Amino acid sequence: MAMFGKRSGLQMDQTGRMPCIKKFFGVRHYSDTRLNSCVVSDTTIAERLEQTTKVEFEKLNYSVLKKLQKKGEISRTAIIDGSQTCGDYGSYLGFKTKYGGIFLVDYESSGGLGKELQSSKEVIKRVSKNLEKKKIDLLLLDMLYLNSGIFGLVKAGYVKNILVKYTPKLDENNYPKLYRNVLKRFETYLLLKGKNQLTKTERIKFENCGYNYEKGYDKERLVEYEIFSIARLDTDNRFKIAKIFETNVNGKQNLFYVFTTDFEMSGNKMRENGHNRWIIENNGFKMLNNLVWSKHQWYRNPMISAKLILIFQLSFSLLWLFRKKYEKFFTNLFPGAKITTKMISEILLSEINNEIFFDSA
């Protein structure tokens, strides 16, 4: 029963004895008269999962996604990131919801940390196949994916645009350690802006780079921001780059860069999407692990683990979306209580366990 996120033998035993659990998985080894005294085992669950294919679960996840996108609950902004679930490291795909969180949809094993490039490509191609003509409008990624292979997916038509966020390490002078030539050239362009006099060559180079400066205040994050963006760097026209400074009320400064293939995107929108890349980590992986203890080693059989991961993604995402959609209702129902996904999960399980299987897992 470990896959239900139960940490103790007593919790596993109590959950395994619930009629809805046994009814859902079908305990065929016992007659009805003895049904109340038996417990669903890991073996029983493994047997049920072996009777299905990973493709069947993928189709189910995508069918739900399409319906919710049609209703406007989920956007066409997708996020891919690497994480470990059920003992396996892989690439995980989610879509941004209208409530600011993530709807986890798909997964592909990568075989280890830092090897997500190929598995991410497989996921993106599968998205394109399952969503048909409804492509991803914007794919958010981290710096690992800043390479021609991933950006080639835009040219191939799998996604409309890609955006990558990069937070650099700083040296002793608080200057970013730039390890890519494109960033060094970008900083060189910005330095031209600060010169009192420019040569003719420098002036032509700068005037044709698509430079823009934006400044403002973010009321949600309580930070002042400055954005320096350039759309063209000499002959490198693959993406637009923005350098973003954010300063909070205590004077602490945050610096990061954003790259996007959408040349029409404003600097402030690039900043917002850079922050959105973290949704899959903060509102996805961490919450999922908290609910179902997902980093535990579930099964040695990788195919069973893969199916469990897809089940976890869909059940967790639907539960989270349900909670956010009816947040006001639950707040009125439980005044003063902190409404969490885990709390809603336990309420649903305790109230309707005799009719429907709906555990936090």
Torsions phi, psi for 127 (to 5 deg)? -60, -50
Bridge-based pairing state of the strands 136-142 and 159-166: parallel
Query: Mean pLDDT across the stretch 46-52?
Result: 75
CATH of the domain spanning 55-283: 3.90.350
| Residue 361: CA count within 13 A, CB half-sphere | 22
User: What digits encode the pLDDT tens for the residues 278-308?
Assistant: 888 888 888 877 776 666 545 566 777 788 8
* Cα 163 to Cα 133: distance, rounded to the nearest angstrom: 21
Other beta carbons within 10 Å of 126: 18
Q: What is the per-residue pLDDT for 30?
A: 43
Contacts of 176 (CB under 8 A, 6+ apart): 168, 169, 170, 183, 255
Contacts of 343 (CB under 8 A, 6+ apart): 337
Query: What average pLDDT is seen over the chain?
Result: 79
51 CA to centre of own chain: 29
Least Cα distance to 239 among 226, 258, 225 occurs for 258
pTM: 0.79
Q: What is the per-residue pLDDT for 265?
A: 94
User: What digits encode the pLDDT tens for the residues 135-148?
Assistant: 899 999 988 887 76
Q: What is the per-residue pLDDT for 358?
A: 35
Comparing 50-64, 98-112, 184-198, the range with the smallest average pLDDT is: 184-198
CA–CA distances in Å: residue 359 to residues 28, 54, 219, 239, 299 = 21, 21, 37, 44, 19
* Cα 19 to Cα 357: distance, rounded to the nearest angstrom: 9
User: What digits encode the pLDDT tens for the residues 181-208?
Assistant: 888 888 888 888 777 787 888 887 777 7
Are the beta carbons of 76 and 137 closer than 8 angstroms? yes
* Cα 59 to Cα 65: distance, rounded to the nearest angstrom: 10
Q: What is the 3-state secondary structure (H, E, C) of 273-317?
A: HHHHCCHHHHHHHHHHHHHHCCCCCCCCCHHHHHHHHHHHHHHHH
Torsions phi, psi for 83 (to 5 deg)? -160, 170
Match 């995980």 to its residue by tokens. Answer: 92
Q: What is the per-residue pLDDT for 250?
A: 86
In the chain, DSSP finds a helix count (H) and a strand count (E) of 14, 9
* Residue 123 DSSP class: H
* Cα 246 to Cα 343: distance, rounded to the nearest angstrom: 35
* Residue 336 DSSP class: T
3-state helix, strand, coil in the chain (%, to 5): 45, 20, 30
Q: What is the per-residue pLDDT for 32?
A: 45
